[in-house]
Structure 1
Amino acid sequence: MHYPYMKEMREKFWVQLFIIYTRFLLGGGFVFASIIKIKGKRFTTESQEDAEFGTVGHFFETMYQTGEYWQFLGWAQLISGFLLMTQKFSKLGAVINLAIILNVFVITISMDFNNTHIITFFMLLANLGLILWHWGELRILFNLPYVPPTPNLEESKPVWIYTGFTLFLFTAGYRIYTDFYDPIFWFLSCFAIVIVSFLWRILLSNNK
């Protein structure tokens, strides 16, 4: 069953834009965190220093010492983040990302990560929202009738696909370039990219 109110919501431009930007935010965050693992380096400088005290640092240090598993986590985050940011393959990205963020959320509530569990909870909630957005198509995985996607969604516009690739290349390139990152610089740069894309989209719409 495809409820009418869901169909109406999916057709609203601002709702579609919110979904697109949610993918950028989640995907970008995962790509940002993945590169350091793929490079085979520690997630934080505190992990090795705090390991002897049995704190969260010990947990990160143990995962880091696994080597291949640490890099595997990085590749999983990179792939799921990239798929989300492409828009075109966002459904697959949301499914893969759900498994990862659920695991991260459970870890943060199982250990003393200060208030990190609040952040991961909202990330999990956002990912569940993306799953709900695509539920008509994903429900076939549970042997339920397939509901075709709403045609001509905003996410299919080339501007958002190009934006996703730009954000991915910038984020991955920045993290490959340096291990000593400035999160404010990264966030503001990404924010500028999506604002330019939004203005570009509005300009294209007005020229029609």
Structure 2
Amino acid sequence: MLSKIYLLVRTQRFFTFLTWPTRILLTLAFLPSGLKKVIGARFTLMPVDTNVGFFFEALYRTGFYWNFLGLMQLTAAALLLVPRTAYFGALLYLPIVANICVIVTAMQFEGTPVVAALMLLANIYLLVWDYPKTRRLVAVIFQKT
């Protein structure tokens, strides 16, 4: 059933057209924050007496972990732009954007949960776009031993 839906969707020009802009927009979403983290700059200048400011300051003070987060964001973004690695980029993007969704919702960021949720949905779209690969990966993960 899902395979038939997948084949129907893959033949629609609209979805073919939608895939590249989705990859590009997701890449652009990670570039500024990823670059700031890689170079060791603060992401926000909010005061630490706010929940959001305190959270980002704590992350910033972790040092290497802050840089690592940025490196992973930039890696996922770059992989999305190369057709051969786009699926791996979407896989790498998934836990990062899911984590962002949880954080911005838990920290009660204003407006940001909506943006993060849309990014998560766009990322899931890319994973579904490569449904055969995703199906094989899920089968391997849940394979009974």
Q: TM-score, normalised by structure 1?
A: 0.64
Identity of aligned residues (%): 34
Q: Which residue matches 2:75?
A: 79
* Separation in structure 2 between the aligned mates of residue 91 and residue 71 of structure 1, nearest angstrom: 24
Counterpart residue type for residue 13 of structure 1: R
Q: Which residue matches 2:20?
A: 20
| Alignment partner of 2:101 out of 97, 102, 105 | 105
Q: 1:31, 1:82 within 8 Å by CA — same for their partners in 2?
A: no
Give 1:122 deviation, angstroms: 0.7
Counterpart residue type for residue 98 of structure 2: L
* Separation in structure 2 between the aligned mates of residue 56 and residue 81 of structure 1, nearest angstrom: 24
1:36 and 2:36 aligned: yes
Q: Which residue matches 2:66?
A: 70
Q: Which residue matches 1:128?
A: 124
Q: What is the CA deviation profile of residues 2-48 of structure 1, one whole-angstrom value per residue up to 9, with x for unaligned ones?
A: 532321221222311101110110012112321011000100122xx
Q: 1:105, 1:117 within 8 Å by CA — same for their partners in 2?
A: yes
1:117 and 2:126 aligned: no
- 3-state SS of 1:3 partner: helix
* Separation in structure 2 between the aligned mates of residue 69 and residue 29 of structure 1, nearest angstrom: 20
* Separation in structure 1 between the aligned mates of residue 112 and residue 2 of structure 2, nearest angstrom: 36
Counterpart residue type for residue 137 of structure 2: L
Q: TM-score, normalised by structure 2?
A: 0.90
Q: 1:2 to 1:115 in 2, by over 3 A?
A: closer
Q: Which residue matches 2:137?
A: 141
Q: 1:64 to 1:8 in 2, by over 3 A?
A: same
Report the number of matched residues.
Answer: 140
Q: 2:30, 2:77 within 8 Å by CA — same for their partners in 1?
A: yes
Counterpart residue type for residue 13 of structure 2: F
Runs of at least 5 residues in structure 2 that lack an aligned partner in the other structure: 141-145
Q: Which of structures 1 and 2 has the bigger CA Rg?
A: 1
Q: Which residue matches 1:11?
A: 11
Q: Which residue matches 1:198?
A: none
Counterpart residue type for residue 30 of structure 2: F
Q: What is the CA deviation profile of residues 150-187 of structure 1, one whole-angstrom value per residue up to 9, with x for unaligned ones?
A: xxxxxxxxxxxxxxxxxxxxxxxxxxxxxxxxxxxxxx
* Separation in structure 2 between the aligned mates of residue 106 and residue 83 of structure 1, nearest angstrom: 23
1:94 and 2:90 aligned: yes
Counterpart residue type for residue 56 of structure 1: V
Q: 1:20, 1:87 within 8 Å by CA — same for their partners in 2?
A: no
